[in-house]
Amino acid sequence: MLSLDEITIVLAGRTETGHWRETVHGRLEAIDEQIDRLARARACLVHYLDCPRTHPAEDCPVVHREVDTYLEA
């Protein structure tokens, strides 16, 4: 969602803080990053449902690897 400042820039066109296209490009990058994070979270939750282990958070090497990767970032 655009912030009020971003909406102001987009509606005003060129301003002292930059061109509206730069604002839109920045927002698109943020959306793409959010989509990537959500896709990874979704994949993890799907794995939890499909994992044959009784306690995936404790026993599953796939979950442990994902957590380690997340913590390293």
Helix then strand count (H, E) for the chain reads 4, 0
**pTM assigned to the model:** 0.68
Is the pLDDT at 16 greater than 70? The verdict is no
Taking phi over 0 as left and psi of -120 to 50 as alpha, with beta for the rest, 55 belongs to: beta
19-73 pLDDT, tens digit each: 888 888 999 999 999 999 999 889 988 998 999 998 888 899 988 888 888 888 7
Residue 47 near residue 62, CB atoms below 8 Å: yes
Q: Is residue 14 pLDDT above 80, yes or no? A: no
Question: Total structural domains in the chain?
Answer: 1
What pLDDT is recorded for position 17?
A: 61
| Predicted pLDDT at 20 | 84
Domain of 65? Answer: 4-72
Tell me what pLDDT residue 46 has.
Answer: 92
